[in-house]
Structure 1
Amino acid sequence: MEARRAVVPVVATPNRATRTIRQQSAAQAPGFNCRRARNDITAAICSDAGLAALDRQLTSRFAALDRSADPATVQRIHHGETTFLNARQTCPDRDCIADAYRLRLRELDEVGR
């Protein structure tokens, strides 16, 4: 009679390479959740590494100013953010989106000085 071997299910556990890939993917994502990308602009940002990088820079700079600026400045940067988002939504292409981000980043640099 032949001996039977027990079947042991193989469960994949994340190894260092898998974690690194996930971290890189998260590092390349924009500052918002791409699962919530509801329009062409946010979808374009999610699918373009350069736009995602600009979004991360803007998110970081905005958050830093939001934490450190006086209340009047915070109000001003929040108003500017609404203006930026409205302008970004009118962009017909990637270059326009990138230009909108670069302009907003320059504006925030001026506020931070």
Structure 2
Amino acid sequence: MKTRIVFASLMLAASTAAFADGPAFNCAKASSKVEKMICADSTLSSADSVNADMYKEALQASDNPNHVKQEQRLWLKTRNTCQTVDCIAKAYDTRYNQLQHERLVNSGAVNTDGSIGH
């Protein structure tokens, strides 16, 4: 069952990424090394767009939006320490999984510990 959920999540991310034109930020204003690497890589650009959409959903659905914002700021600090494309990709993957978990918890599909049921 867990494999099906993971596979479905990955398929959703891939289908959403296929429609993403670029990152959620303006590449013309990219100033950091990480932002420039994201703009130069279509996969990272799509990951940024998908994660930005999921972040907005998590923020809107959360009972504690300040906590979601704090987690996002901490994640951005971590992502911004990356020196390689692989590191950035792993950061996006980690954040995607966190946001997906938040989405499932907010919808009632899973409990905060990841278990299913009441």
If the length of structure 1 is used for normalisation, what is the TM-score?
0.71
User: Where does the alignment leave 5 or more consecutive residues of structure 2 unmatched?
Assistant: 1-18, 105-118
Q: How does 1:84-95 map to 2 (within 5 A)?
A: 84-95=75-86
Instruction: Report the residue type matching 1:77 in the other structure.
Output: V
User: Where does the alignment leave 5 or more consecutive residues of structure 1 unmatched?
Assistant: 1-25
SS in 2 for 1:28: coil
Deviation for aligned residue 1:98 = 0.4
2:20·2:50 contact (CA, 8 Å) conserved in 1? no
Pick the structure with greater CA Rg.
Answer: 1
Over the aligned positions, Cα root-mean-square deviation in angstroms equals: 1.4
2:39·2:45 contact (CA, 8 Å) conserved in 1? yes
Q: Could you say which residue in structure 2 is the equivalent of 1:51?
A: 44
If the length of structure 2 is used for normalisation, what is the TM-score?
0.69
**1:14-58 deviation digits (Å, cap 9, x = unpaired):** xxxxxxxxxxxx942111111110011000001100000100110
Q: Could you say which residue in structure 1 is the equivalent of 2:58?
A: 65
Instruction: Report the residue type matching 1:31 in the other structure.
Output: A
Q: Could you say which residue in structure 1 is the equivalent of 2:70?
A: 79
Q: 1:109 to 1:27 in 2, by over 3 A?
A: closer
1:77·1:108 contact (CA, 8 Å) conserved in 2? no
